[in-house]
Structure 1
Amino acid sequence: MNALPACSPAYAPTTSARRLGRLAISALHGELACSPKPGLVTPFSSGSHHDMDAATFMRSLFALRGYYVATADAAPRSDDFEPLRRLGIDAERAMLSATGGINTHRGAIFSLGLLVAQAARLRAGSGTPATAEAVCASVADWRDDLLAGALDPASPGQRACARHAVRGVREQAADGFPLLRAIGIPTLRAALHDGLPANAARVQTLMQLVAATDDLNLLHRGGAEGLRFAQAQARAFLAEGGVRATDWETRMDILCRSFEARRLSPGGSADLLACSLFLLQQEQMESMGLLPRQEAP
C-alpha cells in the first residue's frame, strides 16, 4: 500500500515541490536510460542482475512518484528531521510492494530524497542560491540526525562497511556528499558544457564515479577484489579517452561483459549519477525562472 501524502486527494503541494519531485523522477529515469553501463540495468539489459529488469525499475519509479513531491513540500515546513525519515520509510515500503520485494531504489530514496529536501529548503525564503554544490553541502545541516540511530547490521551495505572498513552512504551524506561535489557534479557539468550528447555525458560521469567510489554494492558482490577490478577498469576506460574516444561504445560493451561475468554492479555509483542529474537539472530550472522561490511556512 502506498501511504505517501502526495497520493491523497486532499494533498496540495506547492508548485516548487511538484516541480522538484518531477525532476527527481526524471533524474532516475535518466540513470535507467543511460546505456551502455557496466553491470547495471538499462532498457536493453539486466546487467549483472537476474531478479530485475527495466520494467521492475519502472514499477518502482511509478510507486515513488509521490515521495519526492511530499519530501520537497515537507522539508521547508519544519526543522524536524523525523517527518522526512518517516516519508523515506513509507517510500521504501511502496517500492518493495511495487517490485515484489526487490530493492531497486533504496539508495536513491535516501540520497536523492535528502537532496530534494534541501533543494526545497534553500528556496524557502533564505535567498541562498540553490546551486548543485550548495544543495549538497547543506545536507550536512542534518549531520547529527543522519548519524544518530542504529542501522541494520545484517543489511548488505552495513556488512560491507564493517568487513572492509569503508564509510557508508549516511556518512557521505553527513559530510555533504563530497563525491558529488568533487566528481559527479563537475564531470557532468563539464561534459554537457563541451557539447557531449546527454547519454555520453552520463556514461562519462558514471565511469568517473565508479573509478573513485568505494561502492558498497561492488564490495557486497565482489569483495575488495571486485571493487579493485571495477575501479581499475573504469580508470583504464577514462585513460583511453572515455566517451571522447571514437570506439568508446565498443570498449564499453567489452567492459559490460567483464562486469557481468563477475556479477559486479556499481549500484552506489548509479545512485550518485542520478543525484548529479537532479542537482544540475534543478540548478538549470532555477536559472530559467522555472523553480520559483517561496516564503518559508
Structure 2
Amino acid sequence: MIENYLQAALKALIYEVSVFPKPGLVDPLDNSTHPDMTVFTFIDSSFSLEKYFLEVSKTAAQFRGKDLRDLFYQIRPLGIQAEKDMYAATKGVNTHKGAIFSLGIVLAASVYSKSLKTENILTVVKKMMKGIVTRDLENKKNFQTAGEIQFEKYRLTGIRGQAEAGFPIVSCFALPFFNKRKGSLNDRLLDTLLLIARHNPDSNLIKRAGNPDVIEKVNSQIDEYFDLGGSQSQAGRKQLEKINNYFNRFNLSLGGAADMLILTIYFALIEKNI
C-alpha cells in the first residue's frame, strides 16, 4: 500500500505541472509569470523529492506515539532537507516548497492511517496539525515568510490554517467538483484549479499583488469563467485567456492553488478516480 501512496505523490506533482493553460503558473505552453522556471524545472524538482517521500513514509510507518502532533514534528526536519534537495535540483528555484509541506503531511497521514479513503486520511491530518496556527503564528514574534507576514497584517492563516482544518478546500470543494466534472482529464483538472482559486485566499497571489484586494478582482473573473461554461465552452476559453492576460499584466501567481490541486490529484489517484 505504501508504494501506492508514493506513486500517487510523485504523479500528483507531474500531473499538476502538465495541466494547461494555467493562468499565473508554469505549464507545457508557457511559464507565465515565472521566467526562471519551465516544465522541465518542475520535473527535475519532482524527482528530487522521491527520497523525501520515502523517508516520510518510513517515519509514519514506524510511528508508535499517542500524540499525532509528534509525527508532524518528526517529518518536519525531513521537509527542511527536501527543500535543500529541491533547490539543488532546480539551481535555486522554488518550485515545490508549498507542496513539500502539504503533500508531506498528507503522505504521512496516509501511511499512518493505512487507508485509501480521503476522509480517514484527513482525520489523521487534523490530529497531526492540531494547534499549528497558534504555535507557528500566534506565538511568533519575528514574521519573515509571506504566510507569516500576511497573518500579522491580515490575520490570514494560509496553508497552516488549511492543514489544521484538514484541507477543507480540497475535501469540501475541489475533490467533489473534480469527481463530478465531465470532459478530458486536463480540462477537469484545469477547472478544478480555477475552483480552488475561487475559494482560496492564495498567499502567493496576495504577495505578488501586495494586498488582499486582488482576491475579489480575481474571483469575479473566475465567476465569469464558470458562468460561461468553463473549459467546456469557447466563451469560457476566451475568458480564461483574459484571466491569463490579467495575471501576466500584473505579474500574479496561483502557487497556493496549485499546491491544493496537487493534493486533490493525490486523493483522486489513491481513490482511483483518475
Taking the TM superposition and a 5 Å limit, the aligned residue runs for 1:40-189 are 40-78=25-63, 79=65, 80-81=70-71, 82-123=73-114, 129-144=115-130, 146-147=132-133, 148-149=135-136, 153-189=143-179
Q: 2:189 aligns with which of 202, 205, 210?
A: 202
Q: Which residue of 1 aligns with 2:199?
A: 212
Question: Separation in 1 of the partners of 2:151 and 2:215?
Answer: 13
The alignment yields a C-alpha RMSD, in angstroms, of 2.0
Contact 2:8 2:270 in 1 (8 A): yes
Percent identical: 28
Deviations 1:99-145 (A, max 9, x none): 2222110110011111111111111xxxxx53123322320011346
Give the C-alpha shift of residue 149 in structure 1.
4.5
How big is each residue's C-alpha offset from its partner over 1:212-244, in whole Å with a ceiling of 9 and x where there is no partner?
A: 111000110012232222222111111221123
Q: Deviations over 1:72-123 (max 9, x none)?
A: 2221211332321121111111111212222110110011111111111111
The counterpart of 2:230, out of the listed 239, 242, 251, is 242
User: Which segment is superposed worse, 150-159 or 181-190?
Assistant: 150-159
Is 2:265 aligned against 1:280? no
- The one-letter code sitting in structure 2 at the alignment partner of 1:228 is E
Q: Does 1:260 align with 2:245?
A: no
Change (3 A) 1:136 1:224: same
For residues 189 and 103 of structure 2, the distance between their equivalents in structure 1, rounded to whole angstroms, comes to 17
Distance in 1 (alpha carbons) for counterparts of 2:31 and 2:129: 36
Contact 2:190 2:231 in 1 (8 A): yes
**Residue aligning to 1:190:** 180
List runs of 5+ in structure 1 lacking aligned partners. 1-15, 124-128, 286-297
Q: Distance in 2 between matches of 1:71 and 1:145?
A: 21
Q: Which one is further off, 239-248 or 54-63?
A: 239-248
Report if aligned partners of 2:125, 2:163 keep a CA contact under 8 Å in 1: yes
Mapped partners of 1:187, 1:270: distance in 2: 16
Distance between the aligned counterparts of 2:218 and 2:102, measured in 1? 22
Q: Is the CA contact 2:228–2:235 (under 8 Å) kept in the aligned structure 1?
A: no
Q: TM-score, normalised by structure 1?
A: 0.83
More helix by share: 2
Displaced runs of 4 or more, over 4 A: 149-152
